[in-house]
Amino acid sequence: MEELIESLIGWLPYAIPGFLMGLLAIPIFLGLARMFGLYACVNECQSQVFTLFGKVIGTIDEPGLQFPLTKFGPKALLIPFFGKKYVVGTSLRQHYMRNQMVNSEEGTPMGVGIWYEMRVSDPISYLFTNANPEGSLQANVTSSTISTLSNLEMEKMLEDRHSLSRNVRATVSPLSEQWGYSLGSVYIRKVAFTDRGMVDNITEKVVKRLVQVTSAMKQDGENRVGLIKSETAFRVSQKMAEAASSRPQIVGEALNEIAKKDPEILETVLEVMEVENLLNSNASIDILPDQSNMLIQVGRDG
């Protein structure tokens, strides 16, 4: 046991440098393996296209550590010398193009803003079908938008942007697929006037129209309120007239009822009513004491 420990201690000065050299050798070995195409690291939303002698031999688009030798066979060893590896991003991309000029049917110059999104769906077509696929797609979207919106009525151009966007997408999609693109949503985000004088004129017209509409709404409201008031007054007067016409009948029925039950009460009520009418007439009243027969006779004789 002691001999084993002594031998390990004796190898210790040689083991540490060997370990460090091993750590340095691993990256070098991996770099050489990668340079000779023994493995490839594919990221998310990424595709790698391999060519050999000017021809495409395959594509790897699965993320992670990949081995071309297992996918393409022994010819994968020739790729570093007689072929090439292309890395293509397949993530979703968004573009916005401002102030694309179109003319309406009325001859008004309009500035249009177009937003669209796309992703590479066919890396091989993207690399080898078109020398500048992104520029061509942008030009195609622009030309399709201009051809779709030109000579349209201004009202339709301003209000029907959803349907117009769908038309632009339907026009662009077939050609973009040939270039390896998958076109997503296309939306005409902005339609604006470019002539400042025309903007001022339209603003003035809109303000005048708003004033007219506001006045019309106010007048209509006042008319409705007046109509409601007149109808209410008519109904109230009608009800009052009906009440006034039925009052004598109700009073007569009440008096007859009282007369049937107690004539004295009726007589008292009539006297009270007579006194009340007399007071309301503002006539002069002479009040005489109970023993006034002699005074009356004196007044007659005098």
Residue 13 falls inside a structural domain: no
What six digits make up the tokens of 90?
């397949």
Which CA distances in Å does 139 have to 66, 111, 117, 242? Answer: 37, 16, 14, 84
Residue 130 falls inside a structural domain: yes
Residues 96 and 151 in one domain: yes
Residues 99 and 68 in one domain: no
Pairing of strands 64-66, 83-89: unpaired
Q: What is the pTM assigned to this prediction? A: 0.56
In the chain, what are the helix, strand and coil shares in percent, each to the nearest 5? 65, 20, 15
CA angle 149, 153, 158 (to 5 degrees): 70
Q: Which domain holds residue 43?
A: 27-89
Residue 134 falls inside a structural domain: yes
Residue 72 falls inside a structural domain: yes
pLDDT digits (tens, 9 = 90+) for 182-237: 888 889 888 887 777 777 887 888 899 999 999 999 999 999 999 999 999 999 99
Distance CA 192, CA 161 (A): 12
Residue 158 falls inside a structural domain: yes
pLDDT grade, residue 282 (50/70/90)? Answer: confident
Please give the mean pLDDT across all residues of the chain: 84
pLDDT digits (tens, 9 = 90+) for 30-64: 888 888 888 888 999 999 999 999 899 999 989 99
pLDDT digits (tens, 9 = 90+) for 223-258: 999 999 999 999 999 999 998 888 888 888 888 888
The tally of domains found in the chain comes to 3
